Chain A
Amino acid sequence: MITTTKGLMDESLLEKKEGFVDNNHEYTTWVEYWLAGELVHRSAHVALKSNVSSAAEAASFD
């Protein structure tokens, strides 16, 4: 069963579309379910690849 804008629906009644994005920043997958040309469900899963890093420095006396 799939959660949709019309309530829980059997997956077999819906048209399923899937896709992904893979780049330096993320690996994202998404899934959509359509009913008679209407988007009734879309989920996305983003795996972050890039972190945030701060450089730490201590000055020398020379």
Chain B
Amino acid sequence: MCTSFMGQLLNGGHQFGTITLTSRTSLTAPTADSFKAALYLASATVNASTTAYSATNEVSGTGYTAGGVAVTMGTAPTATNSSATAGVAFVTPSASITYTTVTLATAFDAVLLYNSTQGNTAVSVHTFGSQTITAGTFTLTMPTNSTTLALLRLATT
């Protein structure tokens, strides 16, 4: 598979089938979508089968707004060949995801990244050890945006 194709997938450059989309303003130079990050209780089931954001079993508490916070995607997806037959297309949020001055008393252990422009459709789920927050800040620091560490990767080997 051509690595450039995988990069173009991350940028919405190919459409093999039909899909209902929210307008990206221009057909020839569409704007980027917006993404958000919502936290989920340890008792929730959010995984690869999750299709869209849902408030069910989302955390709640002082300072937390349902739906979570905006994710900053300041760096466009990158596609890099590692050989004649392999490559990686990848993208990582360009800033930490931070929930400032919140109280989340019930343990949570997952974050859902979703596309808030396109009907809140799910992108990825990331899990971590259970946490609670008391009048404090919860921060998710992103990995290095590289071929091996980027948060989201499409790869051929």
Chain A residues packing against B (C-beta within 8 Å): 3-5, 21, 25-26, 28, 30-32, 39-58
Contacts and interface: CB of A to CB of B under 8 A. Distances in A.
B154 A39 contact: no
Given A3-B101, A42-B133, A43-B137, A55 B152 contact: no
A20 to B, nearest CB: 11
Interface residues of B, number: 32
Interface of B: 1, 6, 101, 103, 124-129, 131-143, 149-157
A48 B103 contact: no
Main secondary structure of the interface of A (DSSP, over half): strand
Main secondary structure of the interface of B (DSSP, over half): strand
A44 B141 contact: no
A44 B138 contact: yes
B131 A44 contact: yes
Contacts of B6: 56
12 contacts: A4-B135, A40-B135, A42-B133, A45-B139, A46-B138, A46-B139, A47-B140, A48-B126, A48-B128, A52-B125, A56-B1, A57-B1
A53 B134 contact: no
A25 B151 CA distance: 12
A51 B131 contact: no
B134 A41 contact: yes
B128 A46 contact: yes
Contacts of B103: 5
A44 B131 CA distance: 7
